[in-house]
Amino acid sequence: MTEKKEKTTIVLFSGDMDKAIAAFIIANGAAAYDHDVTIFFTFWGLNTMRRDEVVKVKKGFLEKAFGWMMPRGAKKLGLSNMNFMGMGPKMIKHVMKKHNALTLPQLIELAQEQGVKLVACTMTMDLLGLQQEELIPGMEYAGVAGYLGDAVDAKVNLFI
């Protein structure tokens, strides 16, 4: 007899650094408890998963504009709060370093090591003109149906 694993899913809609950190801390915690964990990156949340180097891909004007305007990866995100002071993200990174807390890129790496399923929303990719080569390796690709397939078996489903 095999015991069924608990499942946890997170929709990461937000492109804010602090919310992405919260999402990955919960995801990594659940994975440590042996849950099957999925993070579904949609809308601005996809920016968290962009490579930080410029990737040469063919794009239309509007898609290029989105590419320039949106933050390029986990290191470039702003804060949902206190960002207006300019120093918000730097202060947070500073205190996280001081307390030996994992940085967002390290939290992402840990999630990948723990087998957290990282799924990019294909509809958002189409709309914003993001291509697979522009995201970090190891992502899966699905639409809302894929998300719901996971969520319906999960007890903890969060929208962040």
Q: Which residues bind a copy of itself (CB under 8 A)?
A: 6, 8, 11, 13-15, 18-19, 22, 25-26, 29-30, 32-33, 35, 42-44, 62-63, 65-66, 69-70, 80-82, 85, 91-92, 94-96, 98-99, 101, 123, 126-129, 144-145, 147-148, 151-160
- Which residues lie closer than 8 Å to 109 by C-beta, 6 or more apart? none
* 78: amino acid identity, one letter: G
Q: Least distance in Å: CB of 30 to a copy of itself?
A: 6
Q: From the CB of 137, what's the least distance to a copy of itself, in Å?
A: 26
In the bound complex, what is the minimum distance in angstroms from residue 104's beta carbon to a copy of itself? 13
**Helices assigned H by DSSP within 15-143:** 17-32, 61-69, 88-98, 104-113, 122-128
CB of 96 to a copy of itself, least distance (A): 6
Query: Residue 17 or residue 136: which is nearer to a copy of itself going by CB?
Result: 17
d(CA 9, CA 37): 6
10 vs 118, which CB is nearer to a copy of itself? 10
Classify residue 26 as exposed, middle or buried by CB count within 10 Å of its CB (0-12, 13-18, 19+).
Answer: middle
Contact 112, 29 (CB under 8 A): no
Give the nearest distance from C-beta 133 to a copy of itself in angstroms.
20
**Which lies closer to a copy of itself via its Cβ, residue 81 or residue 132?**
81
Exposed/middle/buried for 59, CB within 10 Å: 0-12, 13-18, 19+?
middle
> Could you tell me if 11 and 156 are in contact, meaning their C-beta atoms sit under 8 angstroms apart?
no
**Which of residues 132 and 138 has its CB atom nearest to a copy of itself in the complex?**
132
- In the complex with a copy of itself, the residue whose CB is nearer, 54 or 65, is 65
